[in-house]
Amino acid sequence: MANKNLFQRIKGGLMPHADTQNSAGGRAYQLSDKQALAQYVATGCLNGTFYNSDKQQLENVLKLAAKVETRFLAQLALYARTKAYMKDTPALLCAIIATRDTDLLAEIFPQVIDNGKMLRNFVQIMRSGVTGRKSLGSAPKRMVQQWLNRASDQQLIYASVGNDPSLLDVIKMVHPRPKSSEREQLFAYYLGRAYDISKLPHPLQDFENYKKTGQGEIPQVPFQLLTSLGLGKQEWQSIARTAPWHMTRMNLNTFLRHGVFDDPAIIKLVSDRLRDPQIIKKVKVFPYQLMAAYMNASDDLPAAIREALQDALEISLENVPVVEGKVAVCIDVSGSMHSPITGYRGTAGSKVKCVDVASLITAAILRKNPLAEIIPFTGDVLKVRLNPRDSVMSNAAKLASLPWGGTNCSAPLRWLNKKRRQVDTVIFVSDNESWLDSAHYGCFGGAAATETMKQWSQIKQRSPSARMACIDLTPHGNTQAKERDDILNIGGFSDQVFKLLASFSSRQTTADLWVDEIEKERVRMPLKSSA
């Protein structure tokens, strides 16, 4: 009889050999060029992460972008801005497209470069030379000119906040030809030239008059323009009454310091604004932005404000799907997950860590799927008891506070196999930088499958129709589970992740669902290859 150790039947079907190493040195599978680029663009803020520097991320994006067709770059730029709500990477993709197909850039430019911050990002990236040129060029320059002429007065007023480059720098750079006398006076105002105040937008008229007299209503301009005017409590309360939603979220502690919440009426007004479902939907809020606001909120903030933030978070998670069948959520709480979700940016870095966002996603899924089994892991599985009826914020905080160590993505699957659990859907929330299982079950590298795939094959033997969705929160180009009909790899931390999870769990999808979704973005078909 032949040697059974050599010729035993492979459980769960033929397993693919690992073909790369991840940043931690463990076995992994290389994502396709499109998948890897989407992963970098949907999760990367072009800042250093636990495993990759900002320069490495930029180099990888540029290399991957060179390998895909320009049309996909345009689709990915649209997806990243309108669905994943990213800022820097969509602007970078536009700068790359500018060197390859300016007609295609013109088609997507108004949708991707949709505010002053995005405009400045695009100009900064173009002039940096990272995409091969240090000038805008005639076609991109024309698009910037058109943006400056077509933007609303309010968009331009808010675009005036920020530097490197400033709005003034951009205007000087492209020399827009104003289409109206009012826009001509507005450009003159920002260029420091003589202007007719009567033809400025009313908020700027009010602002200039208030600077001179200190009298009247607080002008409806970005509060950053007002901070040097020595405002008192009443003025700050006036700002809070009319502040846009995101400004309110980001400046709760500032309002507190200036006595805004001494007025109970303003407490109610701000609380109602924060939890307004229509506004939350309109402003495209990240759930993690609300978590950040809650985590950064002073203990001295009124309880009503803190409760409103929790209510707003629950509302922002309305796209979390109800997943049919038996669900297991495997959440990575290892050391690398304790790096900032937006990368290291010195003192400007976010206090929200990858593990906080992973915990938020997990707690949200539990809220909609109260029978889901939650399996935290580092090098091994950890024990936790969560109440599905508790607030998402409370359960997320409990998960994020678990002890942490090395990373072993196969540990929760091994635990499910040991317990002989039947599952229909397994959801991973991780950075996928598994290495402990590679070291324990064999030397690094080699032709073996990842331990995650080995353990998944055993689950598939018990539960043939089971599916596994791997949600990755960090920018890199590999995974622990090879993409196929029963395995989805997706990156990001917007509510679009939940929409794709719903499609995947409905079992009405095929392999490469994420790339398929990106390629649904409507851009013209090229007349010839523009790769």
Give pLDDT tens digits along the chain (531 positions). Answer: 444 444 444 444 468 899 999 998 999 999 999 999 999 999 988 888 888 888 999 999 999 999 999 999 999 999 999 998 899 999 999 999 999 999 999 999 999 999 999 999 999 999 999 998 888 999 999 999 999 999 999 999 999 998 889 999 999 999 999 999 999 999 999 999 999 999 999 999 999 999 888 888 888 888 888 887 888 999 999 999 999 999 999 999 999 999 999 999 999 999 999 999 999 988 878 788 888 899 889 999 999 999 999 999 999 888 788 888 999 999 999 999 999 888 887 665 678 899 999 999 999 999 999 999 999 999 999 999 999 999 999 999 999 999 989 999 999 999 999 999 999 999 999 999 999 988 544 444 455 899 999 999 999 999 999 999 999 999 999 999 999 999 999 998 887 888 888 888 876 666 688 899 999 998 876 544 443
Distance, in Å, from the CA atom of 258 to the CA atom of 262, rounded to the nearest integer, reads 9
**Domain spans, the chain:** 12-28+317-518, 86-220
Between the CA of residue 427 and those of 362, 489, 512, 515, what are the distances in Å?
9, 10, 16, 19
**pLDDT at residue 510, as a whole number:** 63
**pLDDT at residue 525, as a whole number:** 61
**pLDDT at residue 526, as a whole number:** 53
Is residue 372 within 8 Å of residue 405, measured between CB atoms? no
* Residue pLDDT, tens place only, 90-111: 999 999 999 999 999 999 999 9
**pLDDT at residue 398, as a whole number:** 95
**pLDDT at residue 531, as a whole number:** 39
Predicted model pTM: 0.90
Distance of CA 173 to the CA centre of its chain: 31
What letter would DSSP give residue 521? S
Between the CA of residue 321 and those of 18, 152, 316, 368, 463, what are the distances in Å?
32, 37, 13, 7, 21
* DSSP β-bridge partners for residue 430: 472
Between the CA of residue 92 and those of 119, 345, 484, what are the distances in Å?
11, 18, 30
Is residue 270 within 8 Å of residue 279, measured between CB atoms? no
**pLDDT at residue 125, as a whole number:** 95
What letter would DSSP give residue 21? E
**pLDDT at residue 216, as a whole number:** 80
Q: How many CA atoms lie within 13 A of 401 on its CB side?
A: 9
What letter would DSSP give residue 329? E
**pLDDT at residue 444, as a whole number:** 47
**pLDDT at residue 441, as a whole number:** 44
**pLDDT at residue 419, as a whole number:** 96
Q: Identify the CATH homologous superfamily for domain 12-28+317-518.
A: von Willebrand factor, type A domain (3.40.50.410)
Nearest to 293 by CA among 275, 279, 278, 319: 275
Q: Taking the C-alpha atoms of 424, 430, 432 and 433 in order, what is their torsion angle to the nearest 10 degrees? A: -140
The CA-based angle 283-287-290, given to 5 degrees, is 85
Distance, in Å, from the CA atom of 36 to the CA atom of 22, rounded to the nearest integer, reads 13
Distance, in Å, from the CA atom of 98 to the CA atom of 283, rounded to the nearest integer, reads 28
**pLDDT at residue 284, as a whole number:** 77
Helices (H) and strands (E) in the chain, counts: 26, 8
Distance, in Å, from the CA atom of 257 to the CA atom of 188, rounded to the nearest integer, reads 36
What letter would DSSP give residue 32? P
